Structure 1
Amino acid sequence: MSMLEFENVEVFYGKIQALRGMSIRVEEGEIVSLLGNNGAGKTTTLSTASAIVKAHSGRISFAGSDITRAKPWEVVAGGLIHVPEGRRIFSTLTVAENLQLGGYLVKDRGAVAKRMKEVYEMLPLLAERRSQQGGTLSGGEQQMLAIGRALIAGPRMLMLDEPSMGLAPLIVAQVMEVIKDVNANGTTVLLVEQNARAALKITSRGYVIEGGATTMTGTGPELLADSRIVEAYLGA
């Protein structure tokens, strides 16, 4: 089943066109990566799927439902969860409080408690830091917290924007392992990542975006082996 699909989506910021007939598809169970230079339209794609940015034309569907004109909270309630660039955790709240806020729209408190336990098991470092203020965590720990908070919402699909930004290579590898674990536990993933090599190693399929439209697509191994990708994103 197709979890997320963009069909000829166009987005404008004032007179500037950010997406030009964007068409992508993410199937249930996949990890799909969006590659491209700054300004290519990757973040706009995630923000449009989240209904933070409105599509001017085209169609967006999630799990078979048209969400082109949906409100952001309706998208979240439907199970499409966005972890934005820059972590955006609440620095003065504790780790536990940050996680609990991920379940803001979840009416079943028992489900929230169960997911908290599962997040602590998957990310034991957060369990150790549960009483610590979010702002005192390292960059890698804050990224883990942002992912953990998203999982409390019970996502059917997780969209991650630049999760490795500013992190040391060893921490990047740990973040990618967490993304693989999240996916293995049944959550579909759409990943925007400047570290193309790290992303493609865990990717089912990838799209290259240039000028607000897709210009290439392929499996992770296909794109890793493509000379154009190597030259543009991986270093010759």
Structure 2
Amino acid sequence: MSSLVIDGVDLFYHRVQALDGLSLEVAEGEIVALLGNNGAGKTSTLSMISGLVRPKAGTVRWGDRDLAKLHPWDIVGAGLLHIPEGRRIFSTMTVHENLLIGGYLVKDQRLIRQRADEAYELMPRLAERRAQQGGTLSGGEQQMLALGRALVGGPKLLLLDEPSMGLAPLIVKQVMEIIQRVNEQGTTVLLVEQNARAALRIADRAYVIDGGRVTMSGPAAELAEDSRVIEAYLGA
């Protein structure tokens, strides 16, 4: 059984401190939301888990693995897949080609095709557009494609950075429902999201961070009723 445990992490960009003693945990099978204003350290947290930046102090563990000592590609190989803000799909490749490239570390071609078919089943809109170039898709469709590409890699932990950004409310609802279904199929999720209402609706637990440290945490349903969270992130 693998959990993500971040303990007492300090992270700097040159002399600017992005994370200050950050501690949080994501248990296997959970959806955990990470909330906070711009500059709070949310994206830095995901980048650190993915090995894109290294902490100066503290530990980042996935089960018995010390992620701070692994290369980013080894972290992907361990099943931790990161969908960054902005989706970053390959715009001149077709939907199907984008999906298949998500399995670049998977040696079994049959398994890659099976996972692509499962992504199409989960998101029929992608199946309808499998021959289209990724750059011709709408924002919501591109977010679905980014999710599908990650699923072909067989994630154990999915790191999502602002999946609802720039999407219409109806599409946000669809994307969040897809994330829920992915979780129900066995993938643990750490969700960074400015749309706190949407995130708390699907999360099991949530952390609020400010200045690179946790300021609040608890069951998502409880935080959604907390007056401080309502005032800061949910409106009246």
- TM-score above 0.5: yes
1:16-35 matches, within 5 Å, as 16-35=16-35
Aligned partner letter, 1:95? V
Specify the alignment match of 2:161 in structure 1.
Answer: 161
Cα deviation, residue 108, structure 1: 1.1
Specify the alignment match of 2:103 in structure 1.
Answer: 103
Specify the alignment match of 1:148 in structure 2.
Answer: 148
2:128 & 2:183 partners in 1: Cα distance? Answer: 24
Specify the alignment match of 1:201 in structure 2.
Answer: 201
1:70 & 1:121 partners in 2: Cα distance? Answer: 34
Q: Which moved more, 1:25-34 or 1:64-73?
A: 64-73
Specify the alignment match of 1:128 in structure 2.
Answer: 128
Cα deviation, residue 18, structure 1: 0.2
1:51 & 1:177 partners in 2: Cα distance? Answer: 28
3-state secondary structure, aligned to 1:51 = coil
Q: CA RMSD, aligned part only? A: 0.7
Gaps of 5+ in 2: none
Gaps of 5+ in 1: none
Specify the alignment match of 2:79 in structure 1.
Answer: 79
Specify the alignment match of 1:58 in structure 2.
Answer: 58
- Superimposed CA distance per residue, residues 102-124 of structure 1 (whole angstroms, 9 cap, x where no aligned partner): 00111111110110111111111
3-state secondary structure, aligned to 1:68 = helix
Cα deviation, residue 9, structure 1: 0.8
Cα deviation, residue 68, structure 1: 1.3
Q: Is 1:31–1:188's contact at 8 Å kept on the other side of the alignment?
A: yes
Cα deviation, residue 43, structure 1: 0.2
3-state secondary structure, aligned to 1:86 = coil
Cα deviation, residue 2, structure 1: 4.8
Moved over 2 A (4+): none
Specify the alignment match of 2:45 in structure 1.
Answer: 45
- Superimposed CA distance per residue, residues 60-100 of structure 1 (whole angstroms, 9 cap, x where no aligned partner): 01122111121000000000000000010000000001011
1:81 & 1:2 partners in 2: Cα distance? Answer: 15
Specify the alignment match of 2:180 in structure 1.
Answer: 180
1:77 & 1:179 partners in 2: Cα distance? Answer: 21
TM norm structure 2: 0.99
User: Does 2:28 match 1:7?
Assistant: no
2:177 & 2:64 partners in 1: Cα distance? Answer: 29
- Superimposed CA distance per residue, residues 211-234 of structure 1 (whole angstroms, 9 cap, x where no aligned partner): 000010011110000000000000
TM norm structure 1: 0.99
Number of paired residues? Answer: 236
1:91 & 1:126 partners in 2: Cα distance? Answer: 14
2:107 & 2:11 partners in 1: Cα distance? Answer: 34
Specify the alignment match of 1:215 in structure 2.
Answer: 215
